Structure 1
Amino acid sequence: MGIDLTGLRALSFAKRVYKFDFRNTVTLGRHEIHFWKQEYDAVRANLNFGYDESIAVGAYCESLLHKLGAENVVSIDASAFEGASLIHDFNRPIPNDLHEKFDTFLDFGSIEHIFNVAQVVDNIVNIVRPGGHILIATNANGFPAHGLYQYSPEFFFSIFSNRNGFKDTSVFLVRPSRPKTWHLIKRPVILKRRNEIPFEDQAVMLVFSRRVRRVAEFSVQQSDYDATWTNFATGNWASWDRANIPRWKSILHRLASPFLFRGLSYQFRSLRVRRKYRADRIVIDPDTMDPFDFAKIIADPAAPESPSGEKLNQVEGATQLH
C-alpha cells in the first residue's frame, strides 16, 4: 500500500479538479510514500507546498495529507504492524461512531486484498458523510497474483451510482509505462454496451466519486443487466436463435478445426477490442485538465473533442479534452 507518482497525481487532481476537502480524512491502510523527489518535481506545479524529508520515500502519508489541508487523519488497518491509528478489519462492519464522520476516504491499494467485498463497499459508503469524496486506486489488469481481486470499471460505476446517492463518478485507467496520461472510461450505460478494454495491457485504476445523499436501500446491479431485464419485462426481447449466426462464422466452423478457430478468434477479438477502446476512451493530462472542462465531460461523456486535443491524439490515438 502506498502513494506512487500516479497516486500523487491523483491527490493533486482530487484537490484541484474535484475540490476534495481533506480536513477529516480516513485512509484504508496506512500508506507509505513511494514517489521520488524527481517524480514530485513532475507534479509540483499543481501543488501548493514544497518537497521536504517528511514526504520522502518510505515516510507515511500523514505529512503529505496535512500539506493538502488535512487536520485530522485516521488510518484503518486489520493489523498494527504499520502503526495504523485504528485497528479494525474491513471484512467486518465499521463501528457506528465512524458513520459519516469523514470528508474524504482514500485507498491506495488495499481493497484488492480484502475478501468480503460487499462489506468493504458498505463500510466505504457509510464512513463518508454526504458531501464527502472518495478516491480509490487499485489494480485493473495485469496483476493476477498481487491480491485477491482485480476490479472492473463497471464495478465502481454500479456502486457509486446516482441510485446509491453518488454523483460525478469517474473511472480512469493508467498504464504504468505511461503515467502522464489517464484514460477516462465511459459508463456502459452511455455506450449502451459493455466497455471494451485491452486484456493484454497492465493497468491500474483510479476512481473518484462524491457522496451527495443518503439512500434508504443500497442496490448494485450491473448496468447492462438492468437494461436487459427491462427489455425482457416489457416484451422487447429476442431470444438467441442459431439461425442468426453469421454466415461467415458458420462456414469457418465447417472448414477450420475448433482449435484453429479459437486461436484466430482470440487474435481478432484482441484487435477489435483495441480499436473500440481507442474510440471509446477519453485521454486527459491530469496536470493540465481544466476543472470546468472536466465538469462538462462528466456531465456529458459523449462531449465532442476539443480542438486542443490534437497533440495528445497524435501520441495516444484517442480523444482528448482539456
Structure 2
Amino acid sequence: MGVGNFGWHILKKLSERRGKLGSTLMIGNQTDYRIFKSNINYGKPIKNIMIEENLSTEVDVADISSYEKANIVLDLSMPHKIEQKFNTLIDYGTIEHVFDSKQCIYNYFSLIEVGGNLVLATPCNNYAGHGFFQFSPEFFYNSLSYKGLFKNIECYLVESPISLTYSKPKAWKVKSPQDVKSRINIRTNFPINILVTAERTDIKLPKYYDFNPIQSDYIKNLKNNKSSHKKDNKETNKLRKFIKNFLPKFLIKQYLNINANRKASLNYKPHFTKYNY
C-alpha cells in the first residue's frame, strides 16, 4: 500500500478543488512512493507529509491490527462500531484484500460525513493473484451512485506495473456505464489500477441488507420485468438473417471478436479519454 505520483496528484487536485481534505482516515499506514529528486521521505509513512503540506488537518490510520502503527483497529469484513465520521477516507490498496467487498465498501460509506470525500485505488486488470479481487468501473459507479449516496464521481484507469512505480504513469478517465448505456469492458496487455474519487451526499445510508446495487444494463429490464436481451427492430433482424445465411460462421465470429476488442481498448473514445496532467 502506498501513494505514488498519480495518487498524490489526485489528492492535491481534490484538496485544491474542495479545500483541505480535513480529518482524514487512511486505510493502512500508506507508504510514500512518490518519485522526485528531493523526496527524502520515500519509503516512509506519508501521513505526516499530508499534514505538513496542508492537504489534511489530521490523519488517523485504520488497519486490522496495530502492527503497522494504526491507531484504529478495524476489521473491514465486519460491521464496525466507530462513531466518528471523517472528511476524507483514503484506501490506496486495501479493498482487494478483503473477502467481503460489500461489507468493506459499506463500512467506507458509513465512515464519511456529508460533503466528505472517498478516494480509493485498487487493481483493475492483469493483477490476478495480488488480492482476492480485481474491480471494474461498473462496481464503483453503481455502488457509489446507489440511491444517490455519492456525487461528482470520477473514475481513472492508471498504468501500474507490478512491483514498480512510474514518475508519470499513463492514465485514462472512464465514463459511467449508465451514461454510455453499455458495459465497459477493459482489455490491456499491461497491469492497470482503478482510482475513484467521489463526494458524499446527504442521502441516508440504507441498512446493510438493503444495500444491493445492480449492474446498470440490467436495471431497466428488471424494473420492466423484461429479458436483459434487447429486442431488435425488423430492419436489424433482416440484416442479421442475411448475414447469418450468406456469411461463413467463422467470418461472423471473427468480426464479433474484432469489434469486442476494439470497444475494450483504452483507445475507444466513447468509453475512455486520455487524462493529461
TM over 0.5: yes
- Who is 2:262 aligned against? 271
Q: Answer whether contact 1:21 1:132 (CA < 8 A) is retained.
A: no
- Who is 1:85 aligned against? 71
SS at match of 1:163: helix
Pick the aligned partner of 1:104 from 65, 74, 88: 88
* Cα shift at 1:196: 3.7
Pick the aligned partner of 1:205 from 194, 197, 201: 194
**What do you get for the CA RMSD once the two structures are aligned?**
3.0
* TM-score, scaled relative to structure 1: 0.71
CA distance in 2, matches of 1:263, 1:171: 31
* Cα shift at 1:136: 0.3
* TM-score, scaled relative to structure 2: 0.82
CA distance in 2, matches of 1:77, 1:116: 15
Q: Answer whether contact 1:78 1:89 (CA < 8 A) is retained.
A: yes
CA distance in 2, matches of 1:78, 1:172: 27
CA distance in 2, matches of 1:131, 1:153: 22
* Cα shift at 1:275: 7.8
SS at match of 1:146: coil
CA distance in 2, matches of 1:29, 1:275: 31
1:15–1:198: structure 2 CA closer, same or farther, 3 Å change rule? same
* Cα shift at 1:96: 3.9
What amino acid does structure 2 have at the position aligned with 1:278?
A: K
Q: Answer whether contact 1:134 1:208 (CA < 8 A) is retained.
A: yes
1:271–1:216: structure 2 CA closer, same or farther, 3 Å change rule? closer
CA distance in 2, matches of 1:275, 1:10: 20
Pick the aligned partner of 1:124 from 108, 112, 118: 108
The structure in which a higher percent of residues are helix is 1
What amino acid does structure 1 have at the position aligned with 2:214?
A: Q
- Who is 1:238 aligned against? 231
What amino acid does structure 1 have at the position aligned with 2:67?
A: F
Q: Answer whether contact 2:180 2:270 (CA < 8 A) is retained.
A: no
The percentage of aligned residue pairs carrying the same residue is 23
CA distance in 2, matches of 1:132, 1:197: 30
- Who is 2:149 aligned against? 165
SS at match of 1:168: strand
2:243 pairs with 1:248: yes
CA distance in 1, matches of 2:259, 2:4: 35
- Who is 1:94 aligned against? 80
Q: Answer whether contact 1:30 1:82 (CA < 8 A) is retained.
A: yes
Structure 1: tracts of 5 or more residues without a match? 39-50, 287-322
2:30 pairs with 1:37: no
CA distance in 1, matches of 2:142, 2:81: 25
What amino acid does structure 2 have at the position aligned with 1:273?
A: A
- Who is 1:12 aligned against? 12
2:273 pairs with 1:282: yes
Q: Deviations over 1:97-143 (max 9, x none)?
A: 23xx2000001111111111111011100000001001001111011
Q: Deviations over 1:192-221 (max 9, x none)?
A: 111243343421111000001132524412
What amino acid does structure 2 have at the position aligned with 1:61?
A: I
**Alignment size in residue pairs:** 262
